[in-house]
Each structure stands twice: as C-alpha cells, then as structure tokens.
Structure 1
Amino acid sequence: MDIPAPLRQLPNQLTVARIVAVPVLCLFIGMGNEWLRWLALVLYVVAAVTDWLDGFLARRMNMSSDLGKMLDPIADKLLVGCLIVTFAWTRDFSGLDLVPAIAILFREIFIAGLREFMGNRSVSVPVSFLAKWKTTVQLVALFFVILAGLWVGTGLIASLLLWLAGILTVWTGWQYFLSVWPYFSARTE
C-alpha cells in the first residue's frame, strides 16, 4: 500500500503522532497510577512540543499542506478536549475549575461548527495571534493540571492558568464569532 504524499511529510507525521498520543495519554491519566501519570506528563510534553514543531518544520521546510492545515487544529482540539474530559472524570477538576474547563470545551466545539459553516461559504477566517496564545496557555495549564496530581503545591498554579486559559478561550471565541457574524445575514441564493 502506497502512503499518500502528504503523510510522508515529517510535519504531518508529527501531527498524526499527536493525535495517536491522545488516547494513550488519557488512558495513562485515567488509570490513577502515579508511575503512569509521570509517563503521561512526559508524553504530554512531547505532544505539546509537536504542536509548535510541526508548524515550524512545515514553514521551514516549505512543506505546508492542506492536510496539515486541517489536521493541526483537529489535533489541538482532541488533545485539549479529551484531557479536559479525562480530568473531569478523574476529578482533577473540581468545583469552580469546572467552569473554565466547560467554557473551553464549549468554545472549541462551537468554533469548529462556525468554521464548518464558513467553509461551506468558501470563507476562511485566519487564526488570530491571540488565539495562538490561547492554545499555548491551554497547553501550559493542562501541563500543570497533570503535574498537580504528582507534585503538591502546583494545584493553585494549575487552577490560575486554567482560568486564564478559559478567559482567553472565551474572548477569542467571541472575537471569532463577531468576525463571522456578517455572514449570517448574507443571503444564499
């Protein structure tokens, strides 16, 4: 079987590896074993670094592809979304920390729907600089949530970063919604 050309490109392979890592990562955390959680932390760091590395390599090696442009945000949403669900299940999130976690999940699903809607209208809305920072803050916050289950004293940092990520996530979602709002009133003939 011949592998399609875009999947032979290193940046896309890194993105696919990040997607494949998601269920393993969630399983390691969900097992409730300290040793597996340390492995999950290492795997998470590798996955988070590939989020930056795949884009960097695609630009540097002139290997940007439509497949990569599609898979990269999917990988991000799977990583963040599945971890949030896993943390809610394992009770790593409790009380008020569920508020930003739910806001993040809601925004990511809502914006994915808006992107689909805009794509059907052949309109592409670029990712804003703040939205890129939002993803970075989400990834750092989730790192600290994993770490908080291993190292006493990091729970407050995890909580504060989660709230910051939640605020940035809602704000960038609102910005995106406002940018596409004019298309809702446009008539389709």
Structure 2
Amino acid sequence: MGFIQSKSDNSLFILHHQEHTAYLLLYVDDILLVTSSDTLRQHLMASLASEFAMKDLGPLSYFLGIFVTRHNNSMFLSQQAYAHDIINRAGMRSCKPVDTPVDTQPKLSSTSGTAFEDPSLYRSLAGALQYTTFTRPDLSYAVQQICMHMHAPLNSHWQALKRIIRYLQGTASYGLTLESSPSVALTAFTDADWAGCPDTR
C-alpha cells in the first residue's frame, strides 16, 4: 500500500503520498491509524478491510492500556487503571503516597545489602513499571534505576521499587498531554552527577 517501516519503531509504518500523510501503528492485532484527511483514512480502511477481517472502533479512546481523552485540540494520555493494577499486584493498595518517586539522598548499589527474597516479583513489578513511562516521563529515572538491578535485586532495590509504587499511589491520575505547537524545538533538562553512582563512578 506504499507504507514504509519506521527505522525508530518497527511497529510504525508511514505513508507519504503527494500532500497526504498517514501513520499506522500495529501491535499484534491492534491498529492505530492516523491520516491527514478523512478521504485517505476511508481509502486505507477499505484497502485493509479487503485483506483482513477488521472492525473500525472509531476515534481513539483506548490503545494498549492507555486511555485517551480529547480536550479541544489536545489529547490526554493516561494509564490510571494500569497504575492501580500495579499497586494492587504489589499488595500496596492502602500504602501512603510520597511526593517523589526516588529518595534523593542514597544511591542504589549492586553490592550493598542482602538479596531480596522474591526476585520474580521484583522483576515482574519492575517490568510493569517500565510500561508506565510511556505516559509518565516523571518516572523514567526512578524506573531505570530499579531496572538496572533486575538480575540480582537486593532489599534496598525493593525499597526503591516500593517508593515508586507509593509515588504512583498519589499520582495515578497523572498523564501526558499532547497538543499542537508552533515550535518544533525540543527542550531537555538534566542534572548530571557523573561520579554519583557507587558502582561505576
């Protein structure tokens, strides 16, 4: 149909035809199709339906555990239900929330402390938390830190993981707002602490 696979995401396919553009995101049997015109969308849907059994679910509201809410010219992406599922899986439904996802003082180490008794639980929850970073960039650093120790988690790593879940408890309704902008500039902020890691310094 003229789509070209994206080099940055194997599940994303892009079509450029004259002044029209379409993006098709494919995950197993779920498809998200975004087009620059209704005519192109209808044409692509008809072409796909002629090859595959399909059902048009209409405007995007839910995709791979992410809820989408539209507000005028913006979309709010939320994984609130998924966050509550992680909290329940961890057995922390009644935990008290904290204001930050990571303790700013101690640094996690791969050698200090005793081994955590249930590495499978740790890996399962750490993996689940990785998926939340799609709509929660505020969790990215904290989740990256606990994922570095999935091969041999210690009790200190488990405490760090539980802190992220306590942060989720108070911020489960947070998400990501997408809206058009006249600027294409990307702004990033960082606070590099090159010698701060006790393992790699």
Shorter-normalised TM range:
0.3 to 0.5
Higher relative contact order (CA 8 A, sep 6+): 1
Larger radius of gyration: 2
TM-score for the superposition, normalised by structure 1? 0.35
TM-score for the superposition, normalised by structure 2? 0.34
Which structure shows the bigger proportion of residues in strand conformation?
A: 2
